[in-house]
Structure 1
């Protein structure tokens, strides 16, 4: 049964391998929400649930020091590196008011919070509120397409979102780019796939006057006051 009672946020920072952060599924207490700040200890090529692994040179990725991870959410691949993104995983019960049944609409509140924080720092941040056409590049690389709730600054994608629902809970995965490192995924594509398609993506570090830690603190505070 869905409830309108406010849940209590709990916040924690967890340092694990990229695979460990994706595989974790903490059990929530009654009327509890969890905001987990993920600090990866490795570099990883993360393939989405529907990413074609044969499209990437996985041996080269491993030679380059990347762990290859398959996650149970999202579509395209993401590059994870320590310090290069702000990575939050928000765990909520399915009867939480912040988890609409409509999967697309369920991202909109989160995108609005992120955009609000970025606008407070003087950036022209926009939230994707309508379904966007899929591209061949976006099917392979997460930051190649725009989805519901994701955020752009001056037309470049800075926020990627994904979601899993299982065992009566939802997990919203948020990756806000501090450095633009997703373009390196092109070098791992097999052959010359989609090299002529633009990848409009940006990191926030050169655009804001605050530190990564300060931005992360602002974002966590904005989310956990809901």
Structure 2
């Protein structure tokens, strides 16, 4: 498979995968996908965000007192402007997990749709996530990355992990196995399930900068909720060093990449998935 950013991608006939590139604001990228007529096919999307956004789980704000009008946590994804004009959008996603900061060119973002009954689909959340995590690990290994491992247990998140996605670990997520970055998370994965199938969202940052995530939390949520215990308070900011040791960016792994590094990584993940 090969493609250029922004252009449609032909399906992988051998593996029956539909592959496409999606580009737009994070709120739109978190909206309904794939199109209803494509939900009977395995589909993979490479997502390119057009502007910065802080993405938080809708459940993240459950039980808080909101100070702005707009859809509530049960209303699906929504994008809201933050008070500072230069700040990121705020996007609520239906899936769980901690907050993620997405920025143009700041990460490799790959999504997968598996219709119910597909050989890779499972009613078990763990079993569904493992093939995607294994594909990421295989892809990064082929690109010259360090030894990696796929987390094959349930979600593990302390107070920091419940606030910041890359501070915890969940099913199928990819970690560095050893060396100076041993134990650090590289790839995050979340799921949305319906009667039609499961949508898996996976992402790896190029550079892990927790101070930017904390800043976005403080800026983005300040105008949306009046009270959110422990977030984004001093407990998070005071543990920036701890957050810094929880994850690592792709740019620190010494990967052998070409002139289009994001597409090189995404292509390798797609190729590894196509073999399954």
Specify if TM > 0.5: yes
How many residues were matched structurally? 219
Whole-angstrom CA distance in 2 between matches of 1:186 and 1:60: 17
Q: 2 CA distance for matches of 1:66 and 1:112?
A: 32
Secondary structure class of the residue paired with 1:50 = helix
- Match of 1:96, SS state, is coil
Residues in 2 aligned to 1:116 and 1:135: alpha-carbon distance in whole angstroms:
28
- 2:234 maps to 192
Matching residue within 152, 170, 177 for 2:198: 170
1:37-52 residue pairs with structure 2 within 5 A? 37-52=46-61
- Helix, strand or coil: the match of 1:88? strand
Q: Which of 1 and 2 has greater Rg?
A: 2
Whether the 8 Å CA contact 2:134–2:172 is kept in 1: the answer is: yes
Give the RMSD, CA atoms, in angstroms.
Answer: 2.5
| 1:220 matches 2:267 | no
Q: TM-score, normalized by length of structure 1?
A: 0.87
Query: Which residue of the partner structure matches residue 249 of structure 2?
Result: 203
Name the structure 1 match of 2:129. Answer: 107
Tell me, yes or no, if structure 1 residue 11 matches structure 2 residue 34: no
Aligned: 1:21 with 2:32: no
After TM superposition, give the deviation of residue 182 of structure 1 in Å: 4.5
Query: Does the 8 A contact of 1:16 with 1:41 survive in 2?
Result: yes
Structure 1 runs of 4+ aligned residues shifted over 6 Å read none
CA shift at 1:172, angstroms? Answer: 0.5
Q: Is the 8 A contact 1:92 1:170 kept in 2?
A: yes
Does structure 2 retain, via aligned residues, the 8 Å contact 1:48–1:76?
yes
| Aligned counterpart, 1:77 | 99
Distance of 2:57 and 2:256 partners within structure 1: 33
User: TM-score when scaled to structure 2?
Assistant: 0.72
Deviation, structure 1 residue 169: 1.9
What runs of 5+ residues in structure 2 fail to find an aligned partner?
1-13, 69-79, 177-181, 219-231
- Report if the CA contact (8 A) 2:27-2:91 is conserved: yes
